[in-house]
Amino acid sequence: MTTGPEIRDEALSDCARAVLPGVTETRWGYVVTAGGDVSRNAAAIELAAGIGGLTLFAMAGGLWLVPPLIGFGLSMQLALGGGLSLVAGVALIRIAERGLLEEVQVDLEARALRCTLSNARGALRIRREVAFDEIGSVFVQRAERPGVPSKLFVRVGTGDDLIEAARGREAVLSALQSRMARDFQGSSLRKVNLGRRARGRRGLARPLSHAA
């Protein structure tokens, strides 16, 4: 039995929803988790950072309480150690508070794509928002070797401004690509699959995990 293009596209869309890890349906659209190692282990990393930060705070407090009880020379060293522990503790606590879970929100009501960062408690920060009309293309970059995930990119405009939306198996990302291409319709979107040709441009991509 043969199927038309629209039926095949719907099947691909259903595959993306059912198989691709990190795709969550919402009342206004859907959310795609970036899929990198950091995002997959975000909760564990945040917990470790929080515990590490509190431990360093305790160490700093202890080191600052000790100097009055010992000689001046060693007191300076302990005070310096306490200061360094405090700085490191603040950095770790900030990581835990800011969060490491990177997601891309496709808002069909607002017709906008948002790059967000959230923590394990659900606090969310929008790092970037792009209107559908600004999106030039969406494409899958094939894996360079076995065991390495393929990547799904959204190009803003027609230049080298790329957003990494997801990582995973090429077949599943292609299904998500088809869905996003339909959702972005109305813009100047061109659905492309660069495949191996994208390898020479991979340095231009700005994965979410490395965005400011």
80 lies in a domain?
Answer: yes
Same domain, 23 and 72: no
- Residue of 160, 154, 166 lying closest to 190 (CA atoms): 154
Same domain, 29 and 124: yes
Same domain, 189 and 136: yes
111 lies in a domain?
Answer: no
Contacts 24+ apart (CB under 8 A), 167-174: 167/34, 167/35, 167/36, 168/20, 168/21, 168/35, 170/140, 170/142, 170/143, 172/15, 172/16, 172/19, 172/20, 173/20, 173/140, 174/12, 174/140
User: Facing residues of 48 across strands?
Assistant: none
106 lies in a domain?
Answer: no
Same domain, 76 and 14: no
Question: Structure pTM?
Answer: 0.58
What's the pLDDT tens digit per position in 53-75? 556 556 666 655 665 555 555 55
Query: Who has greater pLDDT, 196 or 97?
Result: 97
What's the domain range around 185? 5-33+120-210
Over residues 130-150, mean pLDDT: 89
138 lies in a domain?
Answer: yes
Same domain, 194 and 132: yes
Is residue 105 very low, low, confident or very high in pLDDT (cuts 50, 70, 90)? very high
Split into its structural domains, the chain has a count of 2
Same domain, 130 and 157: yes
- Check if the beta carbon of residue 47 is closer than 8 Å to that of residue 120: yes
- DSSP H helices, the chain, are 5-19, 37-40, 42-65, 72-98, 170-183
Task: State whether the Cα torsion 12-17-22-24 is positive or negative.
Answer: positive
Same domain, 69 and 165: no
